[in-house]
Structure 1
């Protein structure tokens, strides 16, 4: 084994993360497909599923960051996996007994979303416990590889399972991936030390995380760009399945296959991201990833039946490549410059502004599709993401070659004012 994978505990975290990512991708495809085909849900009803899945970030994201800074992270990760396995596993059981309803799916995605908030915040907080600061880009690149492989395997696997044994069977497989992930997390041996006892004030702790992000011009720009992109990407996700099934008349297996082909861009990105950063500089690599992502996303709106589906593949390939490159360097930068005792809060701020706006995007996507068409909605999404790149263009990132990946090397607005 090479690089960071020589560490047994990181390898266990990497395997657990990979299994969770596969489960997430199956879930991402199957739940709206189940609602669209089996339960005959409308566009608005499908978009509500997306809204509820991300609503916990808006309601609990900042609080979860403060709580995770008070707790040992590994038990949080294991509990989140077990909770999601139980919830997702209830869907095939309900289907077997003929009692599955949209209301049931709404409850499942909402509560599973709560566990996902805890998992994602604790996951980013936990990684620096297992690896050295200089190993963070390599470690994050490996975790982004999981995301890439899951993005490629998940849709095809989910579509195949739906095609042969139905959506309920796919949900059962999804539940098993979470259980397997929890089993790998239990095998990690590195001590997970409880933070030092201290006087706690939730409002003050949340404020510290918010100030860390808002006073750092790079963290602020990255968070704002993520929020704007998330708004339009959530609009896209809310209507894309309906567009493929009802407008283009694509079969479930073919939807999964097209997603698998297009998402090879993510696998390519995870393999070359670190090399891009080494050769051209981390800041330029991040900037390049944002540009590819922004330009490519608009291509999805040009998809038509037959050979016109190549637009969908091209859009997915380019945007998945760009977003993985973005993710590697954004996450490494945030983990490297943030004091460990604030990492949970800073991670939760970033995730809250990105995922917290997603419910609004899902609702807007469904509303625009109802008032116009799903294709018009896709055009709005692509143009919006392209326009959001102006946030990074206006930031200090455009003048940088490398991101400061050492603690204390980032100047923030507050420090500048104090010296002035």
Structure 2
């Protein structure tokens, strides 16, 4: 009897452990996404530029080490890499509350912690994405991604609210401590997985530089992967330029308290649950590629409402925009991840994923930095509007690419 017949992938012990560990880790990280800026803004009185720099530091490692990380991970079993990365992340983030409680915390340390955590995240994400197809059957990938993205989105709903409550009750650094604990739980879950990856056939190992080049060539020559990588980069500049100054906008421009800011961001994150749940159903009706474009277009258009927000009931504009963006982005991520895991050969997956991620996630660092600079010079509300407009333009251009012109993503390379 298959796991699907018995109730789905959550009946599989190993997948359930992976799901539990990743969901817990995402919950901790979603707390830290709010807690770190709150520590910077409330505890250290950091500038808008410094808050944007903090976001950029977390994603900069994709630009610096993303390509060699992909080739390196392709050479090795994925689970041990994931274990080491989460162990390092636990220790790095634990240093923040320790420094705060001893009166030694500085903005420099926060940026270094964000950078070190970002390095671990690069290796973990590449290994994690390559590990999932070896853990389950190919035809279960859509279900697996829906469950993982759905639970991660649910965790992201609770994370900001918990960050606000923890900041209110125990101080902003308590949220960073919770993130460190979540990485520890993830390590325990990963260690308990019984599945072992199949050994790769022995072959002469080529130079790391050549393997990196192979991944880049594969990406650049494929019309679908190339378009998704470029679109992802432009979209991430807009999304992260917007998101990197959300806390500043809520706390300083709208006068929202710490607890309320966490609650508002929790409501925003609820859209991700809807996006994960509906993406498969939409794809079944109109096709996987069309569903991807629809999710992105819906989020982009609704994003324009965010800068219109003001105090009181005017926060509804911010919540509606954020909810819709979360739904669109998570829904499109489910479809994108499933397409890649079915389409890219297993032996190339780490390199191709890293090649794409260097562009798209490297753009997150640029977006965070750009959001901080423009927020400081042009104004926070104006920057939010500019980033929303950039996202709309990116989706419009997507319509004229191979992704925008087809009904379904291909499952095999021609």
TM exceeding 0.5: yes
Cα deviation, 1:21-46, whole Å, max 9, x if unaligned, reads 11110111000110000000001111
| Higher mean displacement: 129-138 or 264-273 | 264-273
After superposition, where does 1:7-406 map in structure 2 within 5 Å? 7-195=12-200, 196-405=202-411
Instruction: Answer yes or no: is the 8 Å Cα contact 2:73–2:127 preserved in 1.
Output: yes
Cα deviation, 1:173-219, whole Å, max 9, x if unaligned, reads 11110000110000111112453343221111111111111111111
Cα deviation, 1:230-275, whole Å, max 9, x if unaligned, reads 1112211232211111111111111111111222211111122222
Q: Distance in 2 between matches of 1:61 and 1:121?
A: 9
Q: Distance in 1 between matches of 2:366 and 2:270?
A: 29
| Higher mean displacement: 165-174 or 58-67 | 165-174
Instruction: Answer yes or no: is the 8 Å Cα contact 1:21–1:146 preserved in 2.
Output: no
Q: Distance in 1 between matches of 2:227 and 2:108?
A: 38
Q: Distance in 1 between matches of 2:95 and 2:118?
A: 15
After superposition, where does 1:399-414 map in structure 2 within 5 Å? 399-405=405-411, 409-411=412-414
The secondary structure found in structure 2 opposite 1:357 is: helix
| Higher mean displacement: 185-194 or 217-226 | 185-194
Instruction: Answer yes or no: is the 8 Å Cα contact 2:86–2:120 preserved in 1.
Output: yes
Q: Tell me the CA shift for residue 372 of structure 1.
A: 1.5
Instruction: Answer yes or no: is the 8 Å Cα contact 1:213–1:349 preserved in 2.
Output: yes
Instruction: Answer yes or no: is the 8 Å Cα contact 2:71–2:208 preserved in 1.
Output: yes
Q: Distance in 2 between matches of 1:356 and 1:262?
A: 24
Q: Distance in 1 between matches of 2:109 and 2:404?
A: 47
Consecutive unaligned residues of structure 2, counting only runs of 5 or more, are 1-5
Instruction: Answer yes or no: is the 8 Å Cα contact 1:71–1:194 preserved in 2.
Output: no
Instruction: Answer yes or no: is the 8 Å Cα contact 1:70–1:194 preserved in 2.
Output: no
Q: Distance in 1 between matches of 2:239 and 2:48?
A: 16
Consecutive unaligned residues of structure 1, counting only runs of 5 or more, are 412-420
Q: Distance in 1 between matches of 2:318 and 2:332?
A: 21
Cα deviation, 1:361-400, whole Å, max 9, x if unaligned, reads 2222222122221111001100001111133211122332
Q: Distance in 2 between matches of 1:264 and 1:106?
A: 28
Q: What is the total number of aligned residue pairs between the two structures?
A: 408
Give me the CA root mean square deviation: 1.3
Q: Distance in 2 between matches of 1:209 and 1:315?
A: 36
Q: Distance in 2 between matches of 1:125 and 1:262?
A: 29
Instruction: Answer yes or no: is the 8 Å Cα contact 1:84–1:175 preserved in 2.
Output: yes
Q: Distance in 1 between matches of 2:15 and 2:328?
A: 25
Cα deviation, 1:55-93, whole Å, max 9, x if unaligned, reads 100000111100010011001111111111101111111
Instruction: Answer yes or no: is the 8 Å Cα contact 2:224–2:403 preserved in 1.
Output: yes
Match of 1:418 in 2: none
